[in-house]
Structure 1
Amino acid sequence: MIKLPKMESIKARVHRVLDGKFKSIIMSRTLMGKDYTSLLIDDGAGTPALT
């Protein structure tokens, strides 16, 4: 379960560890009724160097 401010808890299938501060959350619904959520989390790590 993920707790969002000003909303009820929602069930979520999370496939990564959520470590850090939430910056933004985008929730959308397709025309077929499927819900998707995109999370932007600041984990404090810098940008990886290009090789």
Structure 2
Amino acid sequence: MLLRLAYLGVTNALAMLRLLGMSDRAKDTEILALRHQITVLQRRIHG
């Protein structure tokens, strides 16, 4: 359990560092891609 928590903390910290270096346009593009993935997954679940 402790190892999993440490892993999640490190991966979240690295994700935040990656976001700091991204431009606003790159962030917007990634948000759109993630929203599309969520929509596709919701269709699979409900369809």
* Same fold? TM cut 0.5: no
Task: Please identify the structure whose Cα radius of gyration is greater.
Answer: 2
Q: Which has the higher strand share?
A: 1
Q: What is the TM-score of this pair, normalised by structure 2?
A: 0.24
Q: Which has the higher helix share?
A: 2
Q: What is the TM-score of this pair, normalised by structure 1?
A: 0.23
